Structure 1
């Protein structure tokens, strides 16, 4: 296996045609989205969504004259995956088959016919297949394509099946998988960078990565001095080659000063650093990237202001190194490339952080299939912090760690739930990408924001708590908005008194083993032996603690001044009304009528695993 798990994984079992293929210009123009599924650009995926018809159309283009496979999987592997295979023979006849895989062997044909072959070709040893299906499935073995992250699997072989027999399909010679958002969180087409764009790299220099499992490394930088100011219009990750598995996330924070200056610090974030650096961390993020993310370009009318008469002249970088294997002698110079222009954009944006306070009250017992936390940004914060005509949301990045399975950012107004600002029903820790809304969504004073995270701790032998490490947990949403409100952070947690009461009860009744001393982390480790099913009262106490409607919440500005805060009750509201059920076709779809095609159909059942997108 080569590549980085969760983003692109490929197995090249034999050498095929060398060199990448250039994606078809006609397919790029025809489809809304496209990306290469492998590092070598030998397999391209294109897709578009027809919301009116409820269809999703795909095209795949592979560097082979043989058969091509495509599908979606619950975990990036073949078992329990829905797969389509197809090829074009020497006579120009096209074949398409829908299969369902129950193991690592030739997938069987599916039972119904829910896919339509639209076009197929083979030119210069490159095979292209185009097909479509309904987004919402009806067949028992079909799965609807949901919002969030899907695990796409792909494969190909240099040969067509002998005599065009589906049962003669030889095993793939090249295969892989990649996480990608197909629907709600699909990557937006890139906005072209302006002609006058300039670049500035905020990156570390030859850091020897510590061998500890989790390290947060900080440094600071002075931004370019531009009379009249400029706008940041996008950014891109810079990851030192070979360090893709260690560089977990990068955040660039704003430092507040009237002129740029260098604090001269380059070391651990929890080290003996100047107060000026400490005051930068946890302020308004200028750029944030996490594992699996890609280059970000802001909408064409949105920019992040700096230099000139703004307060942004210096920044601090926070780098999270994830080194669970304790690798030695790793040298890193990763960072963020900022794209900026001296031409001001119409709307000047900022980033707000919503979610759970990074604290021990994010307490997840071991061995649980699904634990849900709800976090509040109360109406008092938006009432005091938003301008009278509100603010506009243009993009969201959801962030959690390895126990998270789903995330969403809810929006409540006047006792009614409005459509989610972002939602990922199948969160993938290794694929954390920004989602930019097709159109801005208005937030008004008095609105409530609710950040919801689902976790699974099955297989874990210890309690999981909120913290900075990859095996700790978070529940955060970074939201790009304009104009800038008065606060840059709005976070909450279960009140400390409620957490303490639960822990004290668990120790007093013998459900957990107390630790000596005052260290909170040691104290909570005493919960590791707690069985939520034996006695039942232990589970009842935990869920009463976890489902409490009380939250301690606060919002503060980018200079860490509190705007509002206190204890609040989680809101009651009228939930969203579910959409209509899918319209199911009772007849087999028809293929293209053009001469030269011989369609072979089976059910196209795509099993999606949307792992809805942290530190």
Structure 2
């Protein structure tokens, strides 16, 4: 049983049961002035819950879960008129008996006489123990035939790179703000889409059949803006190494929006409303810094307690404007204390990534804005045989820190691509991220009622009942 907090900083307002749902309403200070309590901020926060079969307080067993919400800027679900849905899923796909498999299916979306707006995306997961994450990409007009194959083994699967939707293990449904929607249909450009499913088959089970994918709710009542998704962060490269035995190792990926005009004729500012952060098993923290005029002005997103088993789209609560010329820096912190060999950048869950998917409007024809350390500079710093030297190097706190500082200090190659894979290549340097300031604890902390209502045991339990 968890240890009871000696300082109870909340006041129970009501507790009711109705129609199989338990609803708890309580209040507590935003800044609890208690080292054992987290302050409530305007960033998304992970909530945990557990419940029993009856009113006796006993061990909850498997009746537990998590939910990520922005408590101070909660966005309620909307139900537009004339709404319907369609699914884009695998169909009776037999998952290979190997630990890591990325499967791609290129398919046509439903056709519509006029443009529709997608406003809600739900995961459709048939094997929760196998499916790690999903991505849906829009294909260019040059892709005109369906295809099903292992990802990144065919030139055709590599053509479809404009991200439309993402889902990570542990995540739930995703709502788009009422001012925007993901566009589909309504023009002569009858797009194909590529569904990418990452299967993490730890036990290498055979004969497992999967029908996972995504469900899209759409409406003919168009919203003010078309929305889109932009991939940012560190380019996933097989030569990028994270040393073993590291308590904390930082990597960086930069997006310099000043170069967007090199691939787009009519670029504009981005209004970012949600972010999904993504690493693999060694990831512990992810921060996205926002820079303007050479100075950091904000954090676009922060997860100081990143959990590989819980990856969800963060609702920022309000839009954040990224102006052309701004820089975005994705910082990922890893822990490899339990590893004895190098961890490489790659697709497997035992490899690593450092990504942040930005949901924004108005839409632009962009697929990615990322960076990676200049390999030419890296070879001159560490020697032409540096990859072999890395594998044989004795790693300790000093050598780990030296390598980390080298990767950050040298020039980076900044890559910006549109959906047709037109690419801009430039160089830049990694700026310093500031420390997130903690709110001062003052006497008479202002109390705000957190009317969670159906937050924990309605929304979260409904989700668990639906997908588990």
Instruction: State if a TM-score over 0.5 links the two structures.
Output: yes
Check the 8 A contact 2:70/2:315 in 1, yes or no.
Answer: no
1:533 corresponds in structure 2 to: 396
Check the 8 A contact 2:163/2:229 in 1, yes or no.
Answer: yes
1:120-155: CA deviation from partner (whole Å, max 9, x where unpaired)? 568899876543322333234444456555362534
2:159 corresponds in structure 1 to: 279
Q: Secondary structure at the match of 1:304?
A: strand
Q: Secondary structure at the match of 2:442?
A: coil
1:335 corresponds in structure 2 to: 213
2:441 corresponds in structure 1 to: 582
Q: How far did residue 190 of structure 1 move? A: 1.5
Say which of 289, 302, 312 aligns to 1:433: 312
1:559-589: CA deviation from partner (whole Å, max 9, x where unpaired)? 1001x3222122368x478364022459xx9
1:309 corresponds in structure 2 to: 187
Q: Secondary structure at the match of 2:364?
A: coil
1:265 corresponds in structure 2 to: 147
- 1:351 and 2:229 equivalent? yes
2:168 corresponds in structure 1 to: 290
1:180 corresponds in structure 2 to: 67
1:116 corresponds in structure 2 to: 11
Q: How far did residue 234 of structure 1 move? A: 2.3
Check the 8 A contact 1:138/1:582 in 2, yes or no.
Answer: yes
Q: Does the C-alpha gap of structure 1 residues 152 and 234 become closer, same or farther in structure 2, counting only changes over 3 Å?
A: closer
- 1:495 and 2:374 equivalent? yes
- 1:199 and 2:199 equivalent? no
Q: How far did residue 249 of structure 1 move? A: 1.1
Q: Secondary structure at the match of 2:102?
A: strand
Check the 8 A contact 1:361/1:499 in 2, yes or no.
Answer: no
1:331-350: CA deviation from partner (whole Å, max 9, x where unpaired)? 11111122223332210111
Q: After superposition, where does 1:44-59 map in structure 2 within 5 Å?
A: none
Q: Does the C-alpha gap of structure 1 residues 558 and 328 become closer, same or farther in structure 2, counting only changes over 3 Å?
A: same
Tell me, in whole angstroms, the C-alpha distance in 2 between the residues paired with 1:479 and 1:182.
Answer: 17
Check the 8 A contact 2:235/2:372 in 1, yes or no.
Answer: yes
1:178-226: CA deviation from partner (whole Å, max 9, x where unpaired)? 232254798732222x232232221111111001110011111112222
- 1:150 and 2:29 equivalent? no
Unpaired runs of at least 5, structure 1: 1-77, 83-98, 101-109, 161-169, 508-522, 590-615
Unpaired runs of at least 5, structure 2: 448-468
Say which of 408, 411, 431 aligns to 1:571: 431
Q: How far did residue 159 of structure 1 move? A: 5.9
Tell me, in whole angstroms, the C-alpha distance in 1 between the residues paired with 2:436 and 2:40.
Answer: 19
2:199 corresponds in structure 1 to: 321
1:451-506: CA deviation from partner (whole Å, max 9, x where unpaired)? 11111112122211110001111111111111223532101011112444566488
Q: Secondary structure at the match of 1:547?
A: helix
Q: Does the C-alpha gap of structure 1 residues 244 and 276 become closer, same or farther in structure 2, counting only changes over 3 Å?
A: same
1:158-177: CA deviation from partner (whole Å, max 9, x where unpaired)? 466xxxxxxxxx74365643
Q: How far did residue 551 of structure 1 move? A: 1.0
Q: Does the C-alpha gap of structure 1 residues 576 and 371 become closer, same or farther in structure 2, counting only changes over 3 Å?
A: closer
2:136 corresponds in structure 1 to: 252
- 1:372 and 2:268 equivalent? no
Q: After superposition, where does 1:498-517 map in structure 2 within 5 Å?
A: 498-501=377-380, 504=383
Tell me, in whole angstroms, the C-alpha distance in 2 between the residues paired with 1:195 and 1:126.
Answer: 27
What TM-score, normalized by structure 1, do the two folds share? Answer: 0.65
Check the 8 A contact 1:188/1:435 in 2, yes or no.
Answer: no
Q: Does the C-alpha gap of structure 1 residues 312 and 391 become closer, same or farther in structure 2, counting only changes over 3 Å?
A: farther
Tell me, in whole angstroms, the C-alpha distance in 1 between the residues paired with 2:359 and 2:157.
Answer: 24
1:131 corresponds in structure 2 to: 26
Tell me, in whole angstroms, the C-alpha distance in 2 between the residues paired with 1:431 and 1:579.
Answer: 25
Check the 8 A contact 1:254/1:312 in 2, yes or no.
Answer: no
Q: Does the C-alpha gap of structure 1 residues 148 and 425 become closer, same or farther in structure 2, counting only changes over 3 Å?
A: farther
Check the 8 A contact 2:378/2:410 in 1, yes or no.
Answer: no
- 1:236 and 2:122 equivalent? yes
Tell me, in whole angstroms, the C-alpha distance in 1 between the residues paired with 2:352 and 2:72.
Answer: 22
Q: Does the C-alpha gap of structure 1 residues 125 and 580 become closer, same or farther in structure 2, counting only changes over 3 Å?
A: closer
Say which of 285, 294, 297 aligns to 1:418: 297
- 1:223 and 2:109 equivalent? yes
1:543 corresponds in structure 2 to: 404
Q: Secondary structure at the match of 2:376?
A: helix
Tell me, in whole angstroms, the C-alpha distance in 2 between the residues paired with 1:151 and 1:119.
Answer: 19
Say which of 463, 467, 487 aligns to 2:346: 467
Q: Does the C-alpha gap of structure 1 residues 457 and 151 become closer, same or farther in structure 2, counting only changes over 3 Å?
A: farther
Task: Please report the RMSD computed on the Cα atoms of aligned residues, expressed in angstroms.
Answer: 3.2
Q: How far did residue 545 of structure 1 move? A: 2.2
Tell me, in whole angstroms, the C-alpha distance in 2 between the residues paired with 1:257 and 1:124.
Answer: 50
Tell me, in whole angstroms, the C-alpha distance in 2 between the residues paired with 1:319 and 1:172.
Answer: 35
Q: Secondary structure at the match of 1:188?
A: coil
